[in-house]
């Protein structure tokens, strides 16, 4: 049985209040991404309880692709940071989707990464990044994104 779709604090509360071994999986959305790593508190708790964590929506449900739907709950501040980050990455001659996938796949807190894909090239890219990883230059750009206030420094 898996648990998903709740704020992290609610997921933790449900797990705490449930009998041991009730849940096998805990899935969070957009919480282990370039712009948000808040799932780490829940993933360590789940691991101690024998629950596997799943990282869904590593592209932030469109925030990191530039294809943000009107229903997306992100505020203007985060939307702006993602837009600035995409522009920076493109200016460096790199692809934001590739970097975001590489970052998400490198995080060992989660046993699985779930990403919605509708086209063959997306599957090919995900497999390539999983198998080959990112270059040193790509990791340097990620370091800038994660450590500068204008982007995603927490």
Per-residue pLDDT tens for 83-123? 999 999 999 999 999 999 999 999 988 889 999 888 899 99
Mean pLDDT of 22-35: 93
d(CA 3, CA 19) in angstroms, rounded, equals 14
* Cβ neighbours of 119 (radius 10 Å): 8
Mean pLDDT of 134-147: 96
Mean pLDDT of 27-31: 93
What are the residues facing 29 on neighbouring strands? 56
Structure confidence at residue 21 (pLDDT): 84
Highest average pLDDT, of 28-32, 41-45, 137-141, comes from 137-141
- Cβ neighbours of residue 115 closer than 8 Å, sequence gap 6 or more: 56, 57, 58, 59, 101, 122, 126
pTM: 0.91
């Amino acid at each position: 049985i898996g648990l998903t779709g709740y704020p992290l604090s609610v997921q933790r509360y449900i797990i705490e209040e449930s009998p041991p071994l009730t849940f096998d999986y805990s899935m969070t959305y957009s919480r282990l991404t370039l712009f948000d790593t808040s799932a780490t508190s829940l993933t360590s708790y789940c691991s101690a309880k024998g629950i596997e964590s799943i990282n869904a929506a590593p592209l932030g449900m469109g925030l990191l692709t530039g294809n943000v739907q009107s229903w997306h709950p992100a505020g203007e501040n985060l939307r702006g940071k993602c837009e600035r980050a995409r522009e920076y990455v493109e200016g460096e001659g790199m692809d934001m989707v590739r970097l975001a996938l590489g970052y998400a796949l490198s995080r060992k807190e989660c046993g699985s990464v779930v990403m919605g894909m509708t086209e063959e090239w997306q599957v090919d890219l995900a497999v390539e990044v999983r198998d080959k990883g990112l270059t040193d230059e790509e990791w340097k750009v990620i370091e800038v994104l994660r450590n500068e206030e204008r982007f995603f420094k927490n």
